[in-house]
Amino acid sequence: MAIQLKRLDHLVLTVADIAATVAFYEAALGMVAEQFAGGRIALRFGEQKINLHEHGHEFEPKAQSVQPGSADLCFVTSTPVAVAKEALVALGVEILEGPVQKSGALGPI
């Protein structure tokens, strides 16, 4: 069974300089910076958000091999998590961690 995606919830960008990244996205695209517990910074636009991780100071969980410019994606699905995980494993995808609790664009996921 294919996983049924509903939408992209958020993505994470690993950047060299969070302040410069925020300044660019606010000026160029009108995004709004938002600070979360622990000093995490996200850029919000519509019902989406981009979480920013500064290279060398990433928050957990994070992608396995991060570099400035790398990204990871979080999708919202109507497929139960256990079924989605089973489908990915059947396709040869290695699950490194999870499922985990996250702060999604519209709240906890």
Judging by DSSP bridges, how do beta strands 5-15 and 32-35 pair with one another?
unpaired
Whether 32 has a pLDDT exceeding 90, the answer reads: yes
- Domain map (residue ranges) of the chain: 5-108
Per cent of the chain over pLDDT 70 is 84
Q: What is the structure's pLDDT at 80? A: 92
Is the domain 5-108 a CATH 3.30.70.20 member? no
pLDDT band at 64 (very low <50, low <70, confident <90, very high): low
Whether 59 has a pLDDT exceeding 70, the answer reads: no
Q: What is the structure's pLDDT at 95? A: 85
Q: What is the structure's pLDDT at 35? A: 93
Residue whose tokens read 């919000």: 44
More confident residue, 34 or 29: 34
Burial class, 49, CB count within 10 angstroms (exposed 0-12 / middle 13-18 / buried 19+): buried
Nearest to 52 by CA among 41, 67, 62: 41
